[in-house]
């Protein structure tokens, strides 16, 4: 892609001009955006960059390991992997309000990140994988000026607290362009093509109280759903697909026994930039297959529903 080749060269020059001989710290979220930003920065400034991955224990099955091995082994980019699961789950215990969840995670993330940044000797710049739609959506929403729909999880507030300047090399790009840039930088296709995953992770896919047991149930259901989507060859046609574990239990029957377990909702949408979205029109046979597998294989779920809400009026995530 010639345009991404040109963008890459320009972006590298711009980063070098902005940063000079300064030190840069970059927070990895596990998502495509921060990964592309980090690889681009590494190309521009090499060892002036330190990457920090704060693992909040709210990732999907196998996700944290994937990010760590991509950076350490495939790219040989030094990475600080902070295991903060207990800290985050401890702070979230008993929290049910979606905005309180988001703010708790956002604040803790800053605390943990700040502490790690201090340990590596601080930095002059903070790098973020902010995209163009993030810039817009955090300013306003189609509903009118300055209505906060959700507090997006990023490292907002950090630059001032840590006396750092921001480096945001992807600020002009849309998601499809970031993916093209990722390919241009040699990131594996399976990583570049990944569905977006929100900063607060599974916390916002587990309405109501978050417990390690619920997260475990959710991870299993989500993995089965995505496995079936890949097997059916639908992964790349979908913008985002995930399971949500509802804080509701319903009565069911299995064998000759009564069950009383959680409901799992499945979500899948198509979108170009996440700002509007349509629910994905799965074939009923596909949904039936996924539901059967989840109920048979995941202890703790006895009912599966499919979310047919588009955005607006729904948002993509449930919280
Ligand atoms: P909503 O749910 O607002 O989500 O329709 C739009 C897109 O943004 C993702 N999302 C987030 N991404 N931090 C992120 O990095 C967040 O706090 C966050 N909340 C939602 C969501 O997954 C969808 O792709």
Query: Is 62 marked as binding a ligand?
Result: no
pTM: 0.91
pLDDT at position 142: 42
Q: Which of 33, 152, 194 gets mutated to test ligand 1 (max ligand atoms within 8 A of its CB)?
A: 152
- Give the closest residue (by CA) to ligand 1 atom 9: 198
Nearest-CA neighbor of 252 among 210, 296, 285, 287? 296
- State the Cα–Cα distance between residues 170 and 45, nearest whole angstrom: 16
Residues with CB under 6 A from ligand 1: 150, 152-153, 196, 198-200, 240, 274, 311, 315-317
> What number is the ipTM of this complex?
0.99
Is a pLDDT exceeding 90 seen at residue 29? no
Res 3 pLDDT > 50: yes
Gap between the Cα atoms of 175 and 154, Å rounded = 17
**Nearest residue (CA) to ligand 1, atom 6:** 274
* Angle of the 2-19 helix axis to the 175-184 helix axis, nearest 10: 90
From the CA of 151, give the closest atom in ligand 1.
17
Please enumerate in sequence order all residues whose Cβ is within 8 A of that of 269, keeping only pairs 6 or more positions apart, or say none.
238, 239, 240, 241, 277, 278, 279, 280, 310, 311, 316
- Ligand 1, atom nearest to 239 Cα: 24
Across-strand partners of 304? 264
32 annotated as a binding-site residue: yes
Name which residue sits closest to atom 10 of ligand 1, judged by CA: 198
Q: Which atom of ligand 1 is nearest to the CA of 102?
A: 17
- Taking only Cα atoms into account, the Rg of the chain, rounded to an integer number of angstroms, comes to 20
**What digits encode the pLDDT tens for the residues 96-146?**
999 999 999 999 998 998 898 899 888 999 999 999 887 876 654 444 445
Annotate 65-87 with three-state secondary structure.
Answer: HHHHHHHHHHHCCCEEEEECHHH
Q: What is the pLDDT of residue 160?
A: 76
List helix spans (H) across 162-316: 175-184, 189-192, 212-231, 284-297
* Domains within the chain, CATH numbers bracketed: 2-192 (3.40.50.620), 206-306 (3.30.300.10)
Report the atom number in ligand 1 closest to the C-alpha of 29: 15
Tell whether residue 31 is among the known ligand binding residues: yes
Query: Which is it for strands 257-270 and 24-28: parallel, antiparallel or unpaired?
Result: unpaired
**What is the per-residue pLDDT for 158?**
74
Confidence of residue 74 (pLDDT cuts 50, 70, 90): confident
């Amino acid at each position: 892609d010639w345009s991404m080749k040109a963008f890459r060269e320009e972006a590298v020059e711009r980063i070098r001009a902005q940063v000079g001989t300064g030190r840069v710290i970059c927070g990895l979220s596990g998502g495509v955006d921060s990964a592309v930003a980090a690889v681009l920065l590494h190309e521009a400034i090499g060892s002036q960059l330190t990457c920090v991955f704060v693992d909040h224990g709210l990732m999907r099955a196998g996700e944290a390991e994937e990010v760590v091995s991509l950076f350490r082994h495939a790219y040989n980019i030094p990475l600080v992997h902070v295991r903060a699961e207990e800290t985050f789950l401890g702070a979230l215990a008993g929290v049910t309000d979606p905005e309180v969840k988001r703010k708790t995670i956002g604040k803790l993330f800053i605390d943990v990140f700040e502490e790690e940044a201090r340990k590596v000797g601080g930095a002059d710049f903070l790098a973020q994988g902010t995209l163009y739609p993030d810039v817009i959506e955090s300013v306003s929403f189609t509903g009118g000026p300055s209505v906060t729909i959700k507090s997006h999880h990023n490292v907002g507030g950090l630059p001032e607290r840590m006396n750092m300047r921001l480096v945001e090399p992807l600020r002009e790009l849309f998601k499809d362009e970031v993916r093209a840039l990722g390919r241009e930088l040699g990131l594996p296709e399976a990583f570049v093509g990944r569905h977006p995953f929100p900063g607060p992770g599974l916390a916002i896919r587990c309405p109501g109280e978050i417990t390690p047991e619920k997260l475990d149930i959710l991870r299993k259901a989500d993995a089965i759903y995505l496995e079936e989507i890949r097997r059916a060859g639908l992964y790349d046609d979908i913008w985002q697909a995930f399971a949500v574990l509802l804080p509701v239990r319903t009565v069911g029957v299995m064998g000759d026994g009564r069950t009383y377990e959680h409901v799992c909702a499945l979500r899948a949408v198509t979108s170009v930039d996440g700002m509007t979205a349509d629910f994905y029109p799965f074939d009923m046979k596909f949904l039936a297959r996924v539901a059967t597998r989840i109920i048979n294989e995941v202890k703790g779920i006895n009912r599966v529903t499919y979310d047919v809400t588009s955005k607006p009026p729904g948002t993509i995530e449930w919280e």
